[in-house]
């Protein structure tokens, strides 16, 4: 199967053409991605869902991350990228259903199987209010190991260092593809490495969005 290609940009986001996924991360080209956090309301409380990345992922395997996210492939618009929600979670959504939370710019350095990578992304960040129960999700086996849910106020306290960990309920897929309930103690250090203050600011935006 041909390797996916991304539209790439310089540091001022001027288009440079396209490059393969491997070239983009090896040479540190700027590219675009889509982030969507799923939330659920319950009376006066709001809950936020986040995923556990599969252990076989090329970057940040086994880390907690945004509920659904992905790179924009060459020629895709941010409206096209809403497909990631259904692909990863089995939740059909329209772009019009999303609540925009702004853009995030990140520059991260790491290593995969001894090979260095540079991840430079500009992400469009959204929220989606989703009342589906966790056990109604259909997790993409190669991408998502589990999805957890927590009270947004507790997540803010976690990312601000007031709580050492948070016990979270979720669902995960077994090797046989069966969805079952999972409970884990979640810690900040286990999320994809971004500044905790960034996560806290996202949680506040999710708490306050309509």
pLDDT along the chain (210 residues), means of 10: 88 95 94 97 94 89 96 95 96 96 91 84 96 95 95 98 97 84 97 95 91
Rounded CA separation 160/166 (Å): 12
| Nearest residue to 4 (alpha-carbon basis) of 15, 28, 20 | 20
Structure confidence at residue 110 (pLDDT)? 81
Rounded CA separation 74/188 (Å): 33
| Nearest residue to 31 (alpha-carbon basis) of 143, 102, 84, 106 | 106
Structure confidence at residue 93 (pLDDT)? 95
**Is residue 195 classed exposed, middle or buried when 0-12, 13-18 and 19+ CB atoms within 10 A define those classes?**
exposed
Tell me how many domains the chain contains: 1
Rounded CA separation 193/190 (Å): 8
Residue that is written with structure tokens 């999972």 in the block: 182
Structural domain harbouring 30: 5-208
Can you give the CATH number for the domain in which 162 is found?
3.90.79.10
| Nearest residue to 121 (alpha-carbon basis) of 106, 101, 102, 103 | 106
Predicted TM-score of the model (pTM): 0.93
Structure confidence at residue 112 (pLDDT)? 72
Structure confidence at residue 190 (pLDDT)? 98
Q: CB–CB of 16/8 below 8 Å?
A: yes
**Is residue 129 classed exposed, middle or buried when 0-12, 13-18 and 19+ CB atoms within 10 A define those classes?**
middle
């Amino acid at each position: 199967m041909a390797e996916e290609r991304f539209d790439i940009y310089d540091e001022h986001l001027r288009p440079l053409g396209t490059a393969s996924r491997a070239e983009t991360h090896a040479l540190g080209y700027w590219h675009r991605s889509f982030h969507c956090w799923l939330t659920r309301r319950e009376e006066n409380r709001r809950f936020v869902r986040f995923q556990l990345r599969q252990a076989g992922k090329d970057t940040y395997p086994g880390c907690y991350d945004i509920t659904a996210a992905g790179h924009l492939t060459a020629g895709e618009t941010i409206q096209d990228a809403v497909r990631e929600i259904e692909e990863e979670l089995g939740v059909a959504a329209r772009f019009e259903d999303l609540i925009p939370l702004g853009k995030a710019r990140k520059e991260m350095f790491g290593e995969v199987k001894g090979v260095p990578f540079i991840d430079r992304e500009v992400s469009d960040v959204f929220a989606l209010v989703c009342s589906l129960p966790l056990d109604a999700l259909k997790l993409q086996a190669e991408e998502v190991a589990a999805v957890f849910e927590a009270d947004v106020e507790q997540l803010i306290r976690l990312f601000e260092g007031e709580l050492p960990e948070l016990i979270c309920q979720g669902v995960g897929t077994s090797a046989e593809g069966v969805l079952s309930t999972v409970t884990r103690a979640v810690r900040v250090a286990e999320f994809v490495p971004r500044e905790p203050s960034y996560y806290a600011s996202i949680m506040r935006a999710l708490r306050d969005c309509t």
